[in-house]
Amino acid sequence: MSVFRTRKEKQLWFYVIVILVAIFSVLAIGRPLQEMLRDQNTQAGFFLIGMLLTGATIVVHGLKVRPAKVEWVI
């Protein structure tokens, strides 16, 4: 008798295990990574990269979705 009833159930349990491993690996890596990135110049660089990616996402979304004339006024 198989532990799993269906192939889909087996796949879902596999995803659960992958997510749990990812969560616990982040918990183990978090403190050393925090110590390594403590420098303010590094933090500023990550902040600027995040802001640029956010701005690029907004621009790309604005180009893909055509706003109506009323939305241009707002």
Task: Write out pLDDT tens, residues 11-68.
Answer: 999 999 999 999 999 888 888 878 888 888 888 999 999 999 999 999 898 888 877 7
- SS3 annotation, 17-43: HHHHHHHHHHHHHHHHHHHHCCCHHHH
Q: Structural domain of residue 29, as residue ranges?
A: 1-36
pLDDT of 74 above 70: no
Distance between CA atoms of residues 63 and 58, nearest Å = 9
30/46 same-domain check: no
DSSP summary character for residue 61 = H
DSSP summary character for residue 66 = -
Task: Write out pLDDT tens, residues 1-27.
Answer: 678 788 899 999 999 999 999 999 988
44/31 same-domain check: no
Distance between CA atoms of residues 9 and 43, nearest Å = 42
Split into its structural domains, the chain has a count of: 2
Model-level pTM?
Answer: 0.49
